[in-house]
Amino acid sequence: MQQLPAELADDGTIRAHFKSVPAGWFVIAVLHDADSNKEMATNALGIPKEGYGFSNNPKSYFGPPDFDKAAIYLEPDETKQVLIVIKQ
C-alpha cells in the first residue's frame, strides 16, 4: 500500500502521481479524508461519510468492490492516466 497526498490541478481535478511502479495488476483506492484522521468515517450502519472511489469506477454496494472489477494492468515502463469518480 502506498499513501500520498494529491494536488489540485488548474482544471479543478485532483491529481496524484505514483512513481517507480512495477508492471502488474493494481487497484487504486481513493479516500477524501475530510477530517484528516487517516480513516474512513462511517455512520452507525457503516456507510461512508467521506468521499471514496476505486480504479475502473465499479459499483460497490456492501464494502469495497472485488479486485477483478477494480483492477488495472500496468505494462513495463507504461504511463497511465486513471480517472476515478469520487462517491459521496
Q: Look at residue 58 in the predicted model and tell me its pLDDT.
A: 96
- pLDDT reported for residue 72: 97
DSSP string, 38-72: SS--B-TTS-BSS-EEETT----SSSSPPHHHH-E
- pLDDT at position 6, please? 81
pLDDT of 1 strictly over 90: no
- The full set of domain ranges for the chain reads 1-88
- pLDDT tens readout for residues 22-80: 999 999 999 888 898 989 999 999 889 999 999 999 998 888 999 999 999 999 999 99
**Residue 40, CA distances (Å) to 9, 46, 55, 83 in order:** 24, 10, 18, 21
